[in-house]
Amino acid sequence: MKNTTHFGFKQVATNDKQSLVRDVFNSVASKYNLMNDVLSFGAHRLWKHYTIASSNVKISDKVLDIAGGTGDLAIEFRKKVGDSGQVILSDINAAMLNEGRKNLTNKGIFGVEFVQLNAQQLPFDSNTFDCVSIAFGLRNVTDKDQALKEIYRILKPGSCLLILEFSTTDSVLLKKFYDFYSFNIMPKLGGIIADNEASYQYLAESIRKHPNQETLKNMVLDAGFDFCEYHNLSGGIVALHKGIKV
């Protein structure tokens, strides 16, 4: 690994990135769900709905949601796998996991396990899961290649990885609007609603630093996956990558 890496548009020591990301999510945890709805105009729910619809998860499956935060995906996976299945909601950040726990309890969802972990070192046996998901989490991970390799290891043959993440739009008009919105409006809203302009500035910057659709697809294949394809959502502002381990 290189000695420095990006944290938004800043270059920081690789060893420092994890704690900087932790600070961001510590500071937004309590307002995270509200901000998600406001900033995406509710569209994050639809992107997640599409992710679940593409998951191929069924009754009795074992599913791991990485960087799961407040647990939106875990809730839906829990409904799909039933009592005979297993869903683990995991995140590196204890504050986010706590929000997840509260959210699930408030929604009457029980039976989901919570594990605090770093996507780069997954504490599970090889060939364990039928599906692993990571939504809006990969761009925060310091060593993405390592995380992808770990995910590949713990997936069973005949199972899939789903990466839902901000991506790159080809539409010039959409890009203009999106750039203006994310660098001028989003941080301001973060300041007003969550009293945290800097974290939402990081959010906007980290999206721009994240690999585009094709680069991420190649990273998934390089990690060992036999197949990978992606679907652009909302004109490519978000993409869902699906990696298959045969």
Q: Which of 159, 196, 199, 201 binds another protein (CB under 8 A)?
A: 159
153 binds, among ligand SAM, another protein, none (CB under 5 to 8 A by kind): none
Of 61 and 65, which CB lies nearer to ligand SAM in the complex structure? Answer: 65
Rule CB under 8 A: say whether 40 interacts with another protein: no
Task: Tell me which residues in 59-88 interact with another protein (CB under 8 A).
Answer: 59
Residue pointed to by tokens 């600070």: 23
Of 68 and 85, which CB lies nearer to ligand SAM in the complex structure? Answer: 68
Least distance CB 85 / another protein (angstroms): 13
Q: Which of 7, 47, 166, 178 binds another protein (CB under 8 A)?
A: 47
> What span, in angstroms and rounded, lies between the C-alpha atoms of 37 and 52?
18
Mapping DSSP to helix (H, G, I), strand (E, B) and coil, where does residue 93 land? coil
**Residues in touch with ligand SAM (CB under 6 A):** 21, 25, 36, 66-70, 72, 91-93, 96, 118-120, 135-137, 140-141
Which of the 8 DSSP states describes residue 9? T
Q: Which of 151, 146, 140, 6 is nearest to 67 (CA)?
A: 140
Least distance CB 19 / ligand SAM (angstroms): 11
CA dihedral 145, 147, 153, 154 (to 10 degrees): -160
Main-chain phi, psi angles of 120, to 5 degrees: -80, -20
Sign of CA pseudo-dihedral 107, 112, 115, 117: negative
246 binds, among another protein, ligand SAM, none (CB under 5 to 8 A by kind): another protein
Crossing angle for the helix pair 72-81 and 43-53, to the nearest 10 degrees: 30
Stretch that binds another protein, among 114-122, 150-158, 181-189, 200-208 (CB under 8 A): 150-158
